[in-house]
Amino acid sequence: MKKGVMVYVSEMKVGTSGKVTAIKATSMIKKRLLAMGLTPGTQFKIAKVAPMGDPIELNVRGYRLSLRKSEASCLEADIVGND
């Protein structure tokens, strides 16, 4: 994936890192994503995809976060690197 390109987090490949740019979600999902530290500007890395392809695991703020692809698709990010 190209650096600097805007994507939905749900579309990012394992091993790529990104930076949150926007959250477009229902209030419930948004509040939880914010509480978990995925505020705009935060860096994260896609660490893993579950065996059946969903959910996914992110590394963010020094811990592991799991979320469904439908939830990850509420997050827009810029790609900042590939492994």
Partner 1 sequence: MHKIALGGNPNSGKTSVFNALTGSHQHVGNWPGVTVERKEGELKIDSERFTLIDLPGTYSLSANSLDEKIARDFIIDKKPELTVIVIDQTNIERNFYLVLEIIEMGRPVLLVLNMDDEARKMGINVDSDGLSKYMNVHVCKTVANRRVGIDVLKEQILSAVQRQNKPKVLKFSEKTEKIIQAIEPFFKDHDPDLRRWFAIKALEKDDFLQELVGEKAYEQLSQKIELIEKSIANETDILLAEERYAVIHGIAKEFIKRMLTEEDRERFSTKIDHVVTHRIWGIPIFAGIMWLMFQLAFYIGGYFVDAVDYWFSRFGDYLASVMGDSMFSAFITEAVIGGLGAFVVFLPQLFVLFLFISFLGDIGYMSRAAFVMDKFMHALGLHGKSFIPMILGFGCTVPGVMAARTLESKKDRVITILVTPLMSCGARLPVYALLGSIFFAGHEGSITFLLYMIGIVLAIIMARVFKSTFFKKEETLFIMELPPYRWPSARETFGQAFRNSWLFLKKAGTIIFAAVIIIWLLSVFPAGIDAPPQDNYIGDIGRTLEPVFRPLGFEGWEAGVALTFGILAKEIVVGTFGTLFTGQDFGELAEFAEAGLKGNLVQGLQTVFPNAIAAFSFLLFVLIYTPCAAALATIKQEIGWKWMWFTAIYLFVLAYGVSLLFYNIGILFI
Binding residues for partner 1, rule: CB under 8 A, are 23, 26-37, 39-42, 47-55, 57, 61-68, 71
| Cβ neighbours of residue 21 closer than 8 Å, sequence gap 6 or more | 6, 40, 76, 77, 78
CB of 3 to partner 1, least distance (A): 24
3-state secondary structure of 5: coil
CB of 78 to partner 1, least distance (A): 17
Instruction: Return d(Cα 77, Cα 7) in angstroms, integer.
Output: 5
Nearer to partner 1, 7 or 67 (CB): 67
Nearer to partner 1, 2 or 62 (CB): 62
